[in-house]
Structure 1
C-alpha cells in the first residue's frame, strides 16, 4: 500500500533518530510508501510551517520527542493519522539523575499517547506502560544492520590457541552518558586481568580508565563501529536495575549479535528476550554471575564461536532492517485502512 509519511525526529546525531527513522526509510520505500523526514522544529515560525505541512501527509510519525501539550494539540489537529514512536522510558529522567520520576515528563507522555492513532514501542515493557493510556499499541523492535557489515572471523580454535594471539578482547560500545554502566564491571575486569590476558575495548566518544586493566579507547564513529565490534571476542551490556533501564531495548546486545559476537548482559528489561541464555550468550543477575559468564567464555573459544553464530542467525531472522522494516510497513498499512 502506498502512503505519504512525514517522520519528525529529534536529531540526526541521536541513535534513536538514526536507528528508528533513517535506517528504515529505504525499506519503507520498497514497501510502496513515500517517506520524508524532518528535524523537530525549534522556532515558532518553523513549527507553524511544519504543522501546516502535516496536512499533506497520510501519516505523521513523531519519534521520541515529547512536545508541550499545546504543540501536541496542533499535532492532533493537523495530522490525519498520528503515530508516536519511543524506545526508552522517556516518561522518566535517565538514571544519571538522583530522582528519575518527572511529573512534567509523565504528563506530556500520557497526553501524547492518549491522542495518538498508533503508539509504536521498542519493546513489550514500554508497550505495556503505554497501553495504560491507549490500547492502540504495537511493538516494533529496534533494527540492526546485518547486510555487508564486518563479522567476527572465527578461525579454528586450535589454530588460535596455538598462536601468540591468546588475548581475549571484551568489548563495550555506547555513548559517554552510559559509561557509568560499564564502570559496574570494574572489579570483575580487575579480577579477570589477574588470571587471563584480556583487553577491554571501549568504543565510545569518551574514554575510561580501570586500574589494573588493559583498556583500549576507540573513538566511536558510525563508519567504523561495525568493524570495531567485530574485533570483540565477547560483548558486554551491564545495567543497574531501575525504572530507566527497564525500558532499554537492548541495542548493544543486538549489535554484538549482528557481528556474531556472544553477549553477556544484565537481566534487566528486555535483555532476556533478546539473548537466549546459554545459547547466544549469557543473561546474568549479579556481578558474580557476570564473572562466571565471562570466565566461561574466556576459557572456551569453541563456545564463543557457537554462541556467536547462533546470535547472528537470530538477528538475521528477527531484528534485521528488512524484517523490522516490513513489520513496520504492515502496521502502517493497517493504520491507513482503518
Structure 2
C-alpha cells in the first residue's frame, strides 16, 4: 500500500514495481491497491484545486476502508512509506494486530523526520511522522534504501533488509551516451521538492559560463527558472525520460546536510540514473553517494565550490574522460544497483519465495484500474 499512482512516482517504479515480473515468474500473485486516484495525483502539487485535493484525500480514506476488507485473503501486505499520508497508523495497526498479517514495510527517505517551520506546523502534525517507528515495530520485515535508513529501522525491528533503489538496465535504462556532442550538456533531474539543492551550484555554473559554452539542463515537473545564461528546462515526461536523460554529458547531484537533514536518507537515485546511461555523476559526498560514486573512477565527489568547478570544467573539456568515467559508471550500476543484480535480494523479502503465495501491494493507482496479476 503506497501513497502514489502506479507507474508515476519514481519511488514506486524503482523500488518495487519493476520487480513485478519477477514475482509473477516465481508464482507469487499480487494485487495493487491505492490511496490516491490518478486525478488527485495530477493536481496534488499544482497551485489551487483545494476542494478537489481535499475530496481526493477523503476518497482515499474511503478506498482504504474497502481495502481492509480484502486483506484477510492475502499472506503479506507490502506497505511503501505509509497506508495513508496523514493521521496515525490506524490501518497499519489493523493489518498487523487485528488481522495478524505479515507487513513488509518499505521506505527510501528519512520520512520520520518532521522539518517544521511557522508555515507548516499544522502539516507536520497531521503527517504524524512518529508512526514510522510504530510501523517498523509491527512489521515482519523492513526494507530500506540505504544504511542510514536501516540503522533507524533496526531500533525497532531486527529484521531489516538493505534493498537499494535499482535501475532496470535491460528494458528501460538501456542506452549509452556516446559523448560525441559538440556542446556539452550538464544536467540535473528531480522533482520540485529537491530543487533547493541547486542553489549551491549557481555560483559554480556562473563561473563556468565565463569560460565555457555549455548547457545546464533541468528535467523536472516544475521549471526552476534559474538565472543562468546556460539554463534550459525540459518538462519531465515518462514517455521521453530516457531519451531526455541520455542527452546529458554529465549529471549533477548536489546535497547538503545543512540545507536539509533529510539528505542522509537519500538513496542516490539521480546518480544511479545518470550512471546507468554511461553518464558520469558529479555528487556531494553525503550519505549513500559515497558508496555509489568513486571519485575519479565513475564520477566525482565534490565538497567545496572549487571541487565542483574543477570537476565540471574537466568534464566539459575532456570527452575521453567523460567516456571513461561513464563506462565505469554503467558497469557499477549493472553489477550493484540493477534489477538483475538485486532481484534475489528483493524476492527474499517474502520468506516463501518460489512458492505461489498471494501478495497485496497497494499503490496509489486508481482503484478501478487495479487487477489481480
* TM-score band, normalised by shorter chain: 0.7 to 0.9
Structure showing greater relative contact order (alpha-carbon pairs closer than 8 Å, 6 or more residues apart): 2
Corresponding residue number in structure 1 for 2:55? none
1:187 to 197, 203, 215: 203
Corresponding residue number in structure 1 for 2:81? 64
- Matches of 2:117 and 2:182 in 1, distance apart? 37
1:295 matches 2:313: yes
Q: Cα 1:272–1:98, aligned 2, differ >3 Å: closer, same or farther?
A: farther
Contact 2:185-2:249 at 8 Å conserved across structures: yes
1:228 to 241, 244, 254: 244
Q: CA deviation at 1:212?
A: 4.3
Q: Deviations over 1:175-230 (max 9, x none)?
A: 12222212221110110011111111111122233334211111101111111111
Corresponding residue number in structure 2 for 1:196? 212
Q: Cα 1:66–1:39, aligned 2, differ >3 Å: closer, same or farther?
A: closer
278-287 vs 189-198, greater mean Cα deviation? 278-287
Q: Cα 1:24–1:94, aligned 2, differ >3 Å: closer, same or farther?
A: farther
1:51 matches 2:46: no
Look up the SS of the partner of 1:331 in the other structure.
Answer: coil
Look up the SS of the partner of 2:113 in the other structure.
Answer: coil
After TM superposition, the structure 1 = structure 2 runs for residues 251-270 of structure 1, keeping only pairs within 5 Å, are 251-270=269-288
2:108 to 63, 87, 95: 87
Contact 1:257-1:312 at 8 Å conserved across structures: yes
1:243 to 261, 265, 287: 261
1:146 matches 2:169: yes
- Matches of 2:116 and 2:239 in 1, distance apart? 29
Corresponding residue number in structure 1 for 2:336? 318
Q: Cα 1:246–1:34, aligned 2, differ >3 Å: closer, same or farther?
A: same
**Count of equivalent residues:** 322
Contact 2:280-2:298 at 8 Å conserved across structures: yes
- Matches of 1:52 and 1:295 in 2, distance apart? 59
- Matches of 2:279 and 2:352 in 1, distance apart? 36
- Matches of 1:46 and 1:301 in 2, distance apart? 53
Corresponding residue number in structure 2 for 1:175? 191
Corresponding residue number in structure 1 for 2:144? 121
Q: Cα 1:287–1:32, aligned 2, differ >3 Å: closer, same or farther?
A: farther
Contact 1:66-1:109 at 8 Å conserved across structures: no
Note the aligned Cα RMSD (angstroms): 2.5
Q: Cα 1:44–1:309, aligned 2, differ >3 Å: closer, same or farther?
A: closer
2:30 to 18, 32, 35: 35
Q: Cα 1:37–1:89, aligned 2, differ >3 Å: closer, same or farther?
A: same
- Matches of 2:314 and 2:146 in 1, distance apart? 29
2:350 to 329, 332, 336: 332
Q: What TM-score, normalized to structure 2?
A: 0.80
Q: Name stretches of at least 5 consecutive residues in structure 1 with no aligned partner.
A: 1-7
Corresponding residue number in structure 2 for 1:210? 226
Q: CA deviation at 1:119?
A: 0.5
Q: Name stretches of at least 5 consecutive residues in structure 2 with no aligned partner.
A: 37-58, 356-373
Look up the SS of the partner of 2:348 in the other structure.
Answer: helix
Contact 2:28-2:354 at 8 Å conserved across structures: no
Contact 1:235-1:256 at 8 Å conserved across structures: yes
Look up the SS of the partner of 1:143 in the other structure.
Answer: coil
